[in-house]
């Protein structure tokens, strides 16, 4: 189901109940976990003692990326507004080498829980969680790896599949592009879903693929110049729509689309609304929504209710954990086709690949 704004109340209630139960179960490691669609019974709602102090450590690029980090911050800010949480945010150095230090800084200042934004925090969260066993941690985009850690995961390939369906229905060139920030397993999920969705509509469609940096080099998420060059080449070669999963580097993709008078697809947030450059907003046909804001908020809410970590939660299409934005109305005319693809995924008729 598409809509300019998804039903956060319904989504939140399902996910909140699931988080309370899943995190209360304990038992760390990657073998556990559940999906947000399973919604088991709620656990105890007894609140922890003391004031709610929530710390959040951003991924590289920090607050203001109009995408992944900003979505996480929206969840943190909602916890401040609606739950009365005292909040603290920290950003890593440009190379991300001080991630562990940020987590320890928050822990030493008695923030609990602490949310780490991005899979690159996985090892640091594991180490710091062992050092502070009385504190609770969550890590976005990585499986839980300790009894006091909750993994907040997303079915990016499913949302990207819908983006591919939309792009294939809208292209007049039968030629698309995908720009990934870092060639990691996570970003390859976006690629895999996008290509699969596009080819489900037009099996002979061409999709150019370009990653800005290799796995381990996270500068690809904050290099708009590289994103612009990559997208320019795709447009010059004949693509008329380019989808990016490149964080702040997506700005360059939008700039290239505007110059070429072509279209782009945003990621994580509704980028047609979040991007400040008004001249670039019209090129954003849609955005693949990854509701990190809801994941972060529901985790904090569950913690306030007494939940503990040690398992994972996956936000998928069944709970609208991923989806497409409709700001601008550019995909309204193909809503039935996108809805049909979504329903087939939810019903299990389509299994979206997570690897190219």
Average of per-residue pLDDT across 18-41: 42
Q: Is the pLDDT of residue 8 over 80?
A: no
Same domain, yes or no: 93 and 201:
no
Q: How many helices (H) and strands (E) does the chain have?
A: 11, 13
Same domain, yes or no: 127 and 239:
no
Same domain, yes or no: 136 and 174:
no
The pLDDT of residue 38 is 42
In a domain, 213, yes or no: yes
Is 240 within 8 Å of 262 (Cβ atoms)? yes
Confidence class for position 19, pLDDT limits 50, 70, 90: low
Neighbouring residues of 46: CB distance < 8 A, sequence distance ≥ 6: 305, 306
Same domain, yes or no: 333 and 313:
no
Average of per-residue pLDDT across 39-50: 35
In a domain, 53, yes or no: yes
- Can you tell me which residue has the tokens 């086709």? 337
Neighbouring residues of 123: CB distance < 8 A, sequence distance ≥ 6: none
Same domain, yes or no: 56 and 113:
yes
Determine the structural domain holding residue 302 and report its residue range: 8-154+292-319
In a domain, 51, yes or no: yes
Same domain, yes or no: 19 and 149:
yes
Confidence class for position 12, pLDDT limits 50, 70, 90: low
User: How much helix, strand and coil, in percent to the nearest 5, is found in the chain?
Assistant: 45, 20, 35
Same domain, yes or no: 61 and 138:
yes
Same domain, yes or no: 43 and 80:
yes
Confidence class for position 40, pLDDT limits 50, 70, 90: very low
Same domain, yes or no: 264 and 138:
no
pTM of the model: 0.80
Average of per-residue pLDDT across 109-131: 95
Q: Collapsing DSSP states into helix, strand and coil, what is residue 147?
A: coil
Domain tally for the chain? 2
User: How many Å apart are CA 75 and CA 238, to the nearest integer?
Assistant: 39
Same domain, yes or no: 101 and 245:
no
Here the CATH number for the domain that contains residue 136 is: 3.40.50.2300
């Amino acid at each position: 189901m598409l809509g300019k704004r998804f039903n956060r109340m319904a989504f939140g209630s399902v996910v909140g109940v699931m988080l309370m139960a899943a995190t209360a179960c304990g038992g760390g490691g990657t073998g556990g976990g559940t999906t947000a669609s399973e919604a088991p019974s709620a656990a105890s709602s007894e609140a922890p003692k003391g004031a709610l102090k929530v710390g959040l450590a951003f991924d590289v690029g920090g607050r203001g990326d109009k995408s992944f980090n900003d979505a996480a911050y929206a969840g943190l800010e909602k916890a401040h507004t609606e739950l009365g949480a005292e909040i603290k945010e920290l950003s890593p150095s440009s190379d991300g080498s001080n991630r562990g230090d940020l987590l320890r800084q928050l822990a030493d200042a008695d923030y609990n829980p602490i949310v780490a934004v991005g899979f690159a925090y996985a090892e640091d969260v594991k180490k710091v969680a062992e050092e502070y066993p009385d504190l609770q941690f969550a890590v976005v985009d990585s499986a839980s790896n300790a009894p006091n850690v909750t993994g907040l995961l997303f079915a990016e390939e499913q949302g990207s599949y819908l983006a591919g369906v939309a792009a294939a229905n809208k292209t007049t060139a039968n030629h698309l592009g995908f720009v990934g920030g870092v060639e990691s397993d996570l970003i390859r999920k976006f690629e895999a879903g996008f290509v699969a969705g596009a080819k489900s509509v037009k099996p002979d469609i061409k999709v150019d693929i370009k990653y800005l940096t290799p796995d381990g080099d996270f500068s690809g998420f904050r290099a708009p110049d590289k994103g612009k060059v990559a997208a320019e080449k795709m447009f010059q070669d004949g693509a008329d729509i380019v989808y990016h999963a490149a964080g702040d580097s997506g700005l360059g993709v939008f700039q290239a689309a505007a110059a070429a008078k072509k279209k782009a697809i945003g990621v994580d947030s509704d980028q047609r609304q979040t991007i400040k450059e008004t001249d670039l907003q019209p090129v954003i046909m849609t955005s693949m929504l990854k509701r990190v804001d809801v994941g972060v908020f529901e985790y904090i809410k569950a913690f306030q209710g007494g939940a503990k970590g040690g398992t994972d939660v996956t936000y998928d299409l069944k709970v609208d954990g991923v989806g497409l934005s409709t700001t601008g109305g550019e995909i309204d005319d193909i809503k039935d086709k996108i809805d049909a693809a979504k329903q087939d995924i939810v019903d299990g008729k389509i299994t979206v690949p997570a690897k190219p």
